[in-house]
Amino acid sequence: MTRCAALAAAGGLPLWFVERELAAQEAPKSPRSPNDRPGIALIGCGGMGRGDAQNASRFGDIVAVCDVDDNHASEAAKQFTKNGRTPARFSDFRRALERGDVDIAVQATPDHWHTLVNLAATRAKKDVYGEKPMTLTIDEGKHLIKAVREHRTVFQTGTQQRSDKKFRLACELVRNGRIGKLKQVQVFVPAGLREGPFKTVPVPPGLNWDFWQGQTPGVDYLKERCHANFRWWWEYSGGPVTDWGAHHNDIACWGIGQDGPTGVEARALTEPIPGGYTTPSEFEATLTWANGVTQSVRTTPDDTPYGGVIRKDGQRNGVKFVGTDGWIWVNRADLGASKDDILETPLPANAVRLEVSNDHMGNFFDCVRTRKTPVAPVEVGHRSAAIGHLIVIALRTGRKYQWDPAREEFIGENAQEGNAHLARPMRPPYNWGFVS
């Protein structure tokens, strides 16, 4: 009991939930052979990629690294040199995937490269841990789902909040009616950057700028386009919509328990500076769901209220589920509710239970061994990313849309214009044929 209480206090979780989790823990697995370590190729060696690879190295060996920036590839090769063995370096991910000692691809490129890398790895029969958002467009998700199922590979989307107890408990409570009938889901994400104009500069040595741009329109090099800042440009990402939004919209979808919304509208709250980042730094969106739930998504800069919830972490992001009998708030640091008994009263034995994972990367490697479905498989990654893509389409066109989540197309008024944005033109040679 003392251990349970300590764990509950440390994790901000109710005691009954911690007791249930400990009781359900699997017996320790038999130690694996030191040779039972799959080979991993890291594709995309920026900070997120090296962090993911470090996490994955608990379960396998980094045998190859790949990046179109030689400097990033060099840093990764140095970091993952082990026992005098340095990972092979590549600038073309297709060559890395040809290696027989590569069993797994850890993909952490900018968003506009996610799908082609994931497709190539899947077709090469490699299991994939792919960073979020899974895709750049809704159409890309359809291609990837088909490939993963055809080749029977294991695919885990990097929406790691699915492996956080606080988010799982919040969604289980919502699914079991703890706050009454769910009426609203309020998603809060940090604002993006509003900067510019920027000046072109020479491409730095070691960077293949054409390859980095990939399927997107060719443009002159700006240092503010490349690497971490890619997320603030429509060509490569979706700004705050698909940055933190990819995580929190996934949790909203998990709690609502349906495949997708039925309507979307959005508006920018700031206008980009001409010659600067093209995604609006602040926005708000409203989505409707078939069960009558309304979901709002909005940015919260430091001087903006965020729904009256006092949080411990000071970060302005999270998810608030609002029902007829109260609310639940959750983010990575905090779990709270309008009344203590919402959290403190145990769920009954016959309650709806959600998929259990307490280690996102560990869950992926467990599924690599067992061939089971991970907690955030390709279909989950697609549905969660699609919410952001719908908001992006509404923002960019200024239209209000009806969405058919089963057919995955817009219907009704403005449908033709909306459906024209489900895919994007892909600049040759970085199109579907590039990985066929």
Q: Reply yes or no on whether the pLDDT at 316 is more than 90.
A: no
Q: Which three-class secondary structure string do you get for 218-238?
A: CCCCCCCCCHHHHHHCCCCCC
How is residue 426 annotated by DSSP?
-
CA 38 distance to own-chain centroid? 24
Q: Reply yes or no on whether the pLDDT at 418 is more than 90.
A: yes
Average confidence (pLDDT) over 283-311: 78
Contact 128, 153 (CB under 8 A): yes
pLDDT at 47: 96
The 10s digit of each residue's pLDDT in 185-197 is 999 999 999 999 9
User: Of 60, 237, 207, whose CA–CA distance to 136 is shortest?
Assistant: 237
pLDDT at 329: 94
Give the residue, 225 or 301, on which the prediction is more confident: 225
Q: What is the mean pLDDT of the chain?
A: 93
Domain range 2-161, CATH class: alpha beta
pLDDT at 323: 98
Question: Which range among 290-304, 328-342, 347-361 shows the weakest confidence by mean pLDDT?
Answer: 290-304
The 10s digit of each residue's pLDDT in 45-98 is 999 999 999 999 999 999 999 999 999 999 999 999 999 999 999 999 999 999
Q: Which pLDDT band, with edges at 50, 70 and 90, does 4 fall under? A: low
β-bridge pairing 127-130 and 104-107? parallel
Contact 51, 89 (CB under 8 A): no
CATH, domain range 164-349+379-435: 3.30.360.10
User: Of 217, 188, 203, 156, whose CA–CA distance to 321 is shortest?
Assistant: 188
Q: Reply yes or no on whether the pLDDT at 26 is more than 70.
A: no
% pLDDT > 70, the chain: 92
Q: What is the dihedral of CA 252, 257, 263, 267, to 10 degrees?
A: 0
User: Of 343, 20, 12, whose CA–CA distance to 178 is shortest?
Assistant: 343
Average confidence (pLDDT) over 175-183: 98
The 10s digit of each residue's pLDDT in 141-161 is 999 999 999 999 999 999 999
Q: Which pLDDT band, with edges at 50, 70 and 90, does 23 fall under? A: confident
The 10s digit of each residue's pLDDT in 359-394 is 999 999 999 999 999 999 999 999 999 999 999 999
Q: Which pLDDT band, with edges at 50, 70 and 90, does 32 fall under? A: low
The structure tokens 């799959």 sit at: 38
| Domain ranges in the chain with CATH number 3.30.360.10 | 164-349+379-435
The 10s digit of each residue's pLDDT in 196-213 is 999 999 999 999 999 999
**Which residues partner with 184 through β-bridges?**
294, 322
| Domain ranges in the chain with CATH number 3.40.50.720 | 2-161
Provide the H-helix boundaries in 124-175.
138-151, 165-175
Burial class (CB within 10 angstroms; exposed 0-12, middle 13-18, buried 19+) of 405: middle
Question: Token pair for residue 15?
Answer: 């005691």
The whole-model pTM stands at 0.94
pLDDT at 251: 98
